[in-house]
A = this chain, B = another copy of it.
Amino acid sequence: MQEGSQIKVGVLGATGTVGQRFLTLLSSHPWFTIDAIGASSRSANQKYYKVVKWKQTTPIPAGVRDMIVKECLPANFSDCDIVFSGLDADVAGDIEADFRSAEMAVFSNAKNYRRDPHVPLIVPLVNPSHLAIIPQQRSLHAPPLSKGFIVTNANCSTTGYVVPLAALEKAFGPIEACMVTTMQAISGAGYPGLPSMDIIDNVVPYISGEEEKMEWETLKILGGITDSDGGLKAFDMHARHPLRVSASCNRVPVIDGHTECVSIRFAKRPPPSPQQVREALVAFTPDAQALGCPSAPRHAIVVHEEPDRPQPRLDRYYQDGSGVHVGRVRQCQVLDIKFVLLANNVSIGAATSSVINAELAVIKGVINPTAGST
Q: Is the CB of A183 within 8 A of B250?
A: yes
Closest CB of chain B to A349's CB: distance in Å? 15
Complex CA distance for A203 and B250, rounded to whole angstroms = 12
Q: Chain B residues near A55 (CB, 8 Å)?
A: 197, 314
**CB contact between A250 and one of B186, B205, B259 (< 8 Å): that residue:** B259
Which residues of A196-212 are within 8 A (CB) of B? 196-206, 208
Known: A196-B253, A252-B252, A253-B196. A317 touches B181 (CB 8 A): no
Closest CB of chain B to A220's CB: distance in Å? 16
Closest CB of chain B to A328's CB: distance in Å? 6
Q: Chain B residues near A179 (CB, 8 Å)?
A: 179, 263, 332, 334-335
Complex CA distance for A193 and B59, rounded to whole angstroms = 26
Max chain B CB contacts within 10 Å: which of A196, A253, A334? A196
Confirm or deny: A275 has a beta carbon within 8 angstroms of a beta carbon on chain B: no
Q: Is the CB of A183 within 8 A of B252?
A: yes
Closest residue on chain B to residue A203 by CB atoms: B259
Q: Is the CB of B255 within 8 A of A205?
A: no
Contact with B along A307-327 (1 / 0, CB 8 A): 111111110011000000001
Stretch at the interface among A24-32, A69-77, A100-108, A241-249: A241-249
Q: Chain B residues near A198 (CB, 8 Å)?
A: 192, 196
Q: Is the CB of A253 within 8 A of B197?
A: no
Q: Chain B residues near A201 (CB, 8 Å)?
A: 200-201, 253-255, 312-313
Q: Is the CB of B246 within 8 A of A202?
A: no
Which residues of A49-84 are within 8 A (CB) of B? 55-59
Closest CB of chain B to A158's CB: distance in Å? 15
Confirm or deny: A178 has a beta carbon within 8 angstroms of a beta carbon on chain B: yes
Q: List 5 A-B contacts (CB under 8 A).
A: A58-B317, A181-B248, A193-B196, A195-B196, A201-B313
